[in-house]
Amino acid sequence: MNAPKGKYAWTATVGEKGQIVIPKQAREIFDIKPGDTLLLLGDEQLGIAIPPKSSVDLLSSHVFGGK
């Protein structure tokens, strides 16, 4: 099955300390660097999402009255 352009799916394993490793391709595509802080959004019905940093910046500017 071919995914639509710009759509991806990866798996990650949770370690004993609850840590996950984000796959290299995902880190490269979304420009995730060591030391970055990621926002995890959870919904018991829908699951967990990690929005891209650009979306977090936009969301926080709306919530906190930024530009």
User: How high is the pLDDT of residue 19?
Assistant: 93
- Contact (Cβ atoms closer than 8 angstroms) between residue 50 and residue 38: yes
Domains in the chain: boundaries: 34-64
Strands (E), 1-67: 41-43, 47-49
Q: What is the pLDDT of residues 35-56, one digit of tens each?
A: 888 888 889 998 998 888 778 7
- The pTM score is 0.70
> What sign has the CA pseudo-torsion 11, 14, 26, 45?
positive
- Contact (Cβ atoms closer than 8 angstroms) between residue 41 and residue 48: yes
Averaged confidence pLDDT in the chain: 86
